[in-house]
Amino acid sequence: MEFKFGGSEYNQRTVLGHPSGLFVLFFTEMWERFSYYGMRALLVLFLTASIMNEGWGWPREDALLLYGWYTGLVYVTPILGGLIADKLLGYRNAVVWGALLMTLGHGSMALEGFTDVFFYLGLALLIIGNGLFKPNISSIVGQLYKSNDKEKDAGYTIFYMGINAGAFLGILLCGYIGEKIGWHYGFGLAGIFMFLGMLQFYFAQKLFGKIGISPKEMDKYVDSRTLKGEAQEESGKILQDDNVNEPEAISPAAQKDRLFVIGVFAFFTIFFWWAFEQAGGSMTIFAADYTDRVVAGDSALIFKIINTVITVIPMLVITWVLLLLFKQIYKFYALSNFFLGLSFVVIWAIVIWMLYREFQAEATEVPASWFSVLNSLFIILFAPLFSKIWESKYNPSGPVKFAIGLILLGIGFAALAYGASGIPAGAEAASVSMIWLVLAYLLHTLGELCVSPVGLSYVSKLSPTRLVGLMFGIWFMANFVANLLGGWTGSYIDYISETYSMATFFLIFTLVPIGAGIVMLLMSKLLVKKMHGIR
């Protein structure tokens, strides 16, 4: 019997027109991103909080350098994690081991009050676990579909929404609990949901059939086939599927041109993520120490209503998706769905408790981490609009999209620079309106939506099959450099704001991306030509 989708017979049961396994991966990835972004939202705030506030009282410079190393290294370890999965563990085992290591990492960070060793051990486990988890769960998604048509693209879009749902909830809840209740509770909460996500995935693995099993298991599977010809036929199909994206035979010169384009994109992506990743660093510090976050009276009520709406509506949507998944596979994978259902019971309880607690307060201090939530929220709101634009006659070329993204990012920092223009040089605190951070996050997100379709998509399209792994490695290394440089540059926030001004600090992140965007715009026609027909 020929199955439409990869995986087992039960994976042919669909949810919203896609295989059930996609949504098992959707929720696993959602909880992983919950844990990652929840911890990321707290890291710099915890390190710079005073000892009286149960933080470590680090100088901002040191905290931002550590932040840069952490966010950078999570882009390096996936290169090794992918190799380990390919040669030894298989995708599924790598996902399970990665999730377990990250669970232990969050648990270790929750114990930071006992000794500093637990904190650093936790960071190391998170970095290593991410390397095993991140590249391999995406690989399983791709193998659920037997062709590289629009259905697979739509599947990855749904998966991407899981990423944003997890990031949204992680920042919102871990940030709130970390800042309002205790740092170790925020770190620990991230670990709880990573653990439940791991169990949900582990007990649903048979849904994927032979997808993602280890090389040793695959060898046993092939050897056990009674009809050698059938195994050879299947191998031929796999080989054919692996080369679906391979372009028609082209000259070495054309391949060289395409690799040049990937190199240009990788170089310019450094400028984008170097500035964009200030969200968890210098922008979080600006939110904590230089932004008026206290709202009272009618303003407090308006904020509480908005916060309730943007929290409850996404929760209702993903709960609805959860129920659709239950309907299809609950009786076949009851234990997996039990842990998934348990995670939603817990998350709803925390959401209701948080909203009730906030409505009881007369005045509200918006958590500094809350502003990072805006990125995921704006993606959810504007992604459908951008998708329609990319499908229309107004769809610009990849280089032009990238240029627009860089320019929008720079304009976002220009808004922050303008908002900070009244802060005296050397000031350790201020009360700038929240509107400038909101506007900055809006523009940064619009820029991200322009860059996101370009990056990984063009790496896969422009690379010859034999070099795809190497090109992705180069891309991840560019992201490593961007995050490391972002943390290093952000660490000069005090020096620059004392010597010049806070506005000057943000102007650096205004001028560099806009300048890079203009250069990319000038190069766009050349780059399109060197793509040799790839769109």
Tell me the per-residue pLDDT of 276-329, one tens digit each, with 9 for 90 and over: 999 999 999 999 999 999 988 888 999 999 999 999 998 998 999 899 999 888
Paired tokens of 453: 């379709």
Which tens digit of pLDDT belongs to each residue from 11-46? Answer: 888 888 888 999 999 999 999 999 999 999 999 999
For the chain, list the domains and their CATH numbers. Answer: 13-209+299-365 (1.20.1250.20), 251-293+376-535 (1.20.1250.20)
Q: What is this structure's pTM?
A: 0.86
Dist CA 127 CA 122 (whole Å): 9
How does the average pLDDT of the chain come out, rounded? 87
What three-state secondary structure class fits 3? coil
Using the structure block, give the residue that is written with the tokens 């909460």.
189
Which tens digit of pLDDT belongs to each residue from 104-142? Answer: 999 999 888 778 899 999 999 999 999 999 888 888 887
Angle at 237 between CA 232 and CA 240, to 5 degrees: 125
Dist CA 430 CA 112 (whole Å): 30
Average pLDDT over residues 436-461: 86
Using the structure block, give the residue that is written with the tokens 């523009």.
443
Which tens digit of pLDDT belongs to each residue from 145-181? Answer: 876 566 776 787 788 888 888 999 999 999 999 999 9
Average pLDDT over residues 382-407: 86
Residue 478 has pLDDT above 50, yes or no: yes
465 pLDDT tier (thresholds 50, 70, 90): low
- Kindly write down the DSSP assignment for every residue of 11-41, as one continuous string: GGSEETTEEHHHHHHHHHHHHHHHHHHHHHH
- Alpha-carbon 159 to chain mean position: 11
- Kindly write down the DSSP assignment for every residue of 134-174, as one continuous string: HHHHHHHHHHTBSS-SHHHHHHHHHHHHHHHHHHHHHHHHH
Residue 234 has pLDDT above 80, yes or no: no
Lowest mean pLDDT among 46-55, 450-459, 470-479, 517-526: 450-459
Task: List Cβ neighbours of 313 (8 Å cut-off, separation of 6 or more).
Answer: none
